[in-house]
Structure 1
């Protein structure tokens, strides 16, 4: 599956608040409501003051990798600063690393797959999901959780989990998070050793 980026911007100024980036592979598309609950820059805003552009996968990919940009609020179009004076290699590296960090966070909260129930199921992993998982684990450790309970999956709704199955779900969630972080560190290191601006566009999350 290939998911294009969503660009959230201030309707008054056109300043970009969040660029969700592009994703492909075993990923699930988030809704606008989920994005507002997941990104701090959106959660602190009044939704009516925020606009959003949803782009097809791959659209303007090279420009996004190379140039700063903003949104023209009236026409709802993207304006790339192709003459971005003063942007040297180090500044572009910093921008690329920040972009990769955003992609990493989005990949983490996009959820994960676990076979703890004997077959694959998708589980949410946004901030609220992670807090709920941690809370239930604490209940298990304290001996206050039942031996079996319902837990929500993204693909099949609430399903019955034993304590051991739930612990495996949590381990799979942790492994998912660690894998995304490891991927970020690898890509970050690649950016840091780049010798020319021309190398940066090819360093992508997907």
Structure 2
């Protein structure tokens, strides 16, 4: 028989931080209990078993609750999920070839200005020597 198993959210009982989310499963799947998950998942078995909490959701419920969220935590007083909707930071993008060339052109223009300045100062010094 085809089963639908809802999401499991394992969290730290001290902080409410989510340790592991096991998403919805559908098909010829078997329900696992806390001890089985603890033995399977490194994120769980590297922690003290007594400090791990579990929230089980109905199939499709996590997807509906988390839509548009960027993070999740557990409210330790209510054992309910708290979703955050803060914008994610943008990853720094690699400059395009044109941007790289424009930067190089700007650097060369600045270097040319410096050389022109030195040349002008040198020319003025030579002119002063010729006047004397």
Once residues 60 and 19 of structure 1 are traced to their aligned partners in structure 2, the CA distance between those partners, rounded to angstroms, is 10
Alpha-carbon displacement from aligned partner over 1:125-151 (angstroms, at most 9, x marks no partner): xxxxxxxxxxxxxxxxxxxxxxxxxxx
Residues paired across the two proteins, number: 88
Aligned equivalent of 1:22: 24
Question: Which of the two has higher C-alpha Rg?
Answer: 2
Please report how far the alpha carbon of residue 85 of structure 1 lies from its aligned counterpart in structure 2 after TM superposition: 2.5
Please report how far the alpha carbon of residue 22 of structure 1 lies from its aligned counterpart in structure 2 after TM superposition: 0.5
Aligned equivalent of 1:79: 82
RMSD value, Cα: 1.6
Once residues 18 and 60 of structure 1 are traced to their aligned partners in structure 2, the CA distance between those partners, rounded to angstroms, is 13
Runs of 4+ aligned residues of structure 1 deviating over 2 Å after TM superposition are 62-66, 85-88
Once residues 67 and 25 of structure 2 are traced to their aligned partners in structure 1, the CA distance between those partners, rounded to angstroms, is 14
Aligned equivalent of 2:96: none
Gaps of 5+ in 2: 92-132
Change (3 A) 1:56 1:87: farther
Aligned equivalent of 2:39: 37
The TM-score normalised by the length of structure 1 is 0.40
Please report how far the alpha carbon of residue 65 of structure 1 lies from its aligned counterpart in structure 2 after TM superposition: 5.1
Report the 3-state secondary structure (helix = DSSP H, G, I; strand = E; otherwise coil) of the residue aligned with 2:61: coil
Gaps of 5+ in 1: 91-206
On the 8 A contact 2:16/2:73 being kept in 1, the answer is yes
